[in-house]
Amino acid sequence: MTETAPRPTLEAVAERAGVSRATVSRVVNGAHGVREALAERVRRAVEELGYVPNQAARSLVTRRHRAVAVVAAEPETRVFADPYFAQQLRGISKELTAHDNQLVLLLTEGREDHARVGRYLAGGHVDGALVFSLHLHDPLPGLVRSAGVPTVFGGRPDWDDGRDDVVYVDSDNRGGARSAVHHLAGLGRTRIAHITGPLDQTSAADRLAGFRDVRAGADPGLIARGDFTPGGGERAMRELLDRCPDLDAVFAANDLSAAGALRVLREHGRRVPEDVAVVGFDDMLPVAEQTDPPLTTVRQDIEGMGRLMARLLLRGLDGTADDDTETPSATAPGVVLPTTLVHRATA
């Protein structure tokens, strides 16, 4: 069996740097009060010896675990198959990594999963939580509250418990939907249909509201419920064609639904955009640029939302003021990022 060399100790670093153990501890744990010349000697000794702080001991001093739970209220089959989640997780991971924090991914599918996540959060394993993809009546907000961990939510909350300290990051879903429908109407389309997302999520509900803002008197038959998946888009598109064969435009609540709708329109011999114009929502490039034809869609900065969620949480944990004028304060109750219509070939 190969013998491993002993790990360098705090005492070894102190000896190499010619300082006290207490000075090394303060530098390693990010404490103030050490002259820069001494701190630089310590950092050099740490690098030369390859010293890695013991996180358990470090946590006793800093009361920080350098770990953040990312809780997605979706089953793993959805999270790992949908590029939306990949983009959001990439943004979160980049921001956490930049600040030397670990990402702990927790997924929920049923009641047992909710209980497990609640126990984990309450167990003191992480410094805070980022929670997204919530559904109506989801127990996660209550579990997070009970656990007492600082939290930033992804998406506008749909609960009202009288508290105004909920921090969240969202896109302008309603305004983005309005821009999509206005664009279709501006093309001269008069029978504009909408494929919704799951209406127990605020993003889908807000996009439906935006559609209705522009098409207040629309035939109810021109609205079909989807679920943010390609299969859901296909089913909704077939339903719409059965009910309203003369439709001439479709606003789909996300790009995956739009991709499914395009397949069904092609199957039915409908030319896009000549016969039916189509607009999606998200601007996920792996989807929007590879549909046939490329998809006109509403862009939201999915990765940027993830980064901002993590940034607000970390700044709240550090208790630092936000000196970046482009980044909203962590004390703001909610941050809504703008959306932009991206013109491609389907509309």
The percentage of the chain sitting over the pLDDT mark of 70, rounded to a whole number, equals 88
Q: Is the pLDDT of residue 225 over 90?
A: yes
Please say whether the beta carbons of 275 and 247 come within 8 A. Answer: no
Query: Which amino acid makes up residue 60?
Result: L
The residue count for the chain:
347
Q: Is the pLDDT of residue 269 over 90?
A: yes
Residue found under tokens 């598109």: 237
Give the tens place of pLDDT for each residue, 241-259: 999 999 999 999 999 999 9
Look at residue 330 in the predicted model and tell me its pLDDT: 45
Look at residue 229 in the predicted model and tell me its pLDDT: 96
- CA-to-CA dists, residue 241 to 134, 253, 259, angstroms: 31, 17, 16
Which residues sit opposite 107 in a β-bridge?
72
d(CA 308, CA 335) in angstroms, rounded, equals 9
Look at residue 332 in the predicted model and tell me its pLDDT: 54
More confident residue, 326 or 226: 226
The answer to whether the Cα torsion of 207, 211, 217, 219 is positive or negative is: negative
Which residues, other chains included, contact 256 with Cβ-Cβ below 8 Å and sequence gap of 6+?
82, 84, 228, 229, 230, 233, 284, 287
What is this structure's pTM?
0.80
- Residue 323 pLDDT class (50, 70, 90 cuts): very low
Taking residue 15's Cβ as centre, other Cβ atoms within 10 Å add up to 14
Look at residue 264 in the predicted model and tell me its pLDDT: 98
Residue found under tokens 């879903």: 173
Q: In 3D, which of 111, 179, 130, 184 has the Cα closest to residue 339?
A: 179
Average pLDDT along the chain? 88
Q: Which helix (H) or strand (E) holds 242?
A: helix 230-243
Look at residue 136 in the predicted model and tell me its pLDDT: 87
Look at residue 56 in the predicted model and tell me its pLDDT: 47
The helix/strand/coil state of 270 is coil
d(CA 163, CA 157) in angstroms, rounded, equals 12
Query: Which amino acid makes up residue 322?
Result: D
Select, from the ranges 37-46, 60-69, 268-277, 313-322, the one with the highest average predicted confidence (pLDDT): 268-277
Please say whether the beta carbons of 238 and 230 come within 8 A. Answer: no
Look at residue 327 in the predicted model and tell me its pLDDT: 57
Q: In 3D, which of 137, 140, 138, 134 has the Cα closest to residue 120?
A: 140
- Residue 283 pLDDT class (50, 70, 90 cuts): very high
SS3 content of the chain, % helix, strand, coil (to 5): 45, 15, 40
Give the tens place of pLDDT for each residue, 18-70: 888 888 777 876 667 788 888 888 888 888 888 776 554 554 444 556 899 99
Q: Which long-range contacts (CB under 8 A, 24 or more apart) does 40-45 make?
A: 41/17, 42/13, 42/17, 44/17, 45/13, 45/14, 45/16, 45/17
Lowest mean pLDDT among 105-114, 214-223, 319-328: 319-328
Phi then psi dihedrals of residue 335, to 5 deg = -120, 125
Look at residue 302 in the predicted model and tell me its pLDDT: 96
Look at residue 65 in the predicted model and tell me its pLDDT: 63
Q: In 3D, which of 198, 238, 344 has the Cα closest to residue 284?
A: 344
Give the tens place of pLDDT for each residue, 140-170: 888 888 888 999 999 998 876 555 678 999 9
